[in-house]
Amino acid sequence: MSDARKRLEAEIEARGLTVIGRFIRWSRTGESTLQLNWDVDVLHHGRRIYSTRYRAGVAHCPSYSCTSGITRMEACQKECETGMAPNGTPIPLDPADVIHALVTDAQARHAASFEDWADEYGYSSDSRKAEKMYNECCSIATALVEALGEEGLAALEDAARDL
């Protein structure tokens, strides 16, 4: 485990954050891209502060690095559908990855406006889809700041920076 990951995990623990996930079958998500899916709740000292869907690409499937070709994709598709590794154990949700993704999204709060955010991330400021993403990122930021304070979220951002 890298020092950056250890640092983020320690900061998550110090801030009293927990992530609880419920695996969602890929076929029930309506997504065309094969991926692992969880509905997650982020808890702060046991109190839910944010709920969302978390997705991890097929490279996170246990079979991805062990097999090749069509066998790899068949194995990954089975894993994305069942949430189970080839040995029969559930594929774990990584809380540090979830928090990292949320903290990264929450950086939208640093943009002066939607237009500035869109420009920085390469989205069209005329896109309703991009505006929806921006608003979701701002909602994440609001939930994290309300629970942790600006200093707490900044500490998580700092810890997540090198991951």
| pLDDT tens, residue by residue, 98-123 | 999 999 999 999 999 999 999 999 99
Residue 61: predicted pLDDT: 93
**pLDDT at residue number 67:** 67
* Contact call for residues 138 and 111 (beta carbons, < 8 A): no
Of 149, 156, 46, 146, the C-alpha closest to 101 is 156
Mean residue pLDDT across the chain: 94
Question: Between 27 and 68, whose confidence is greater?
Answer: 27
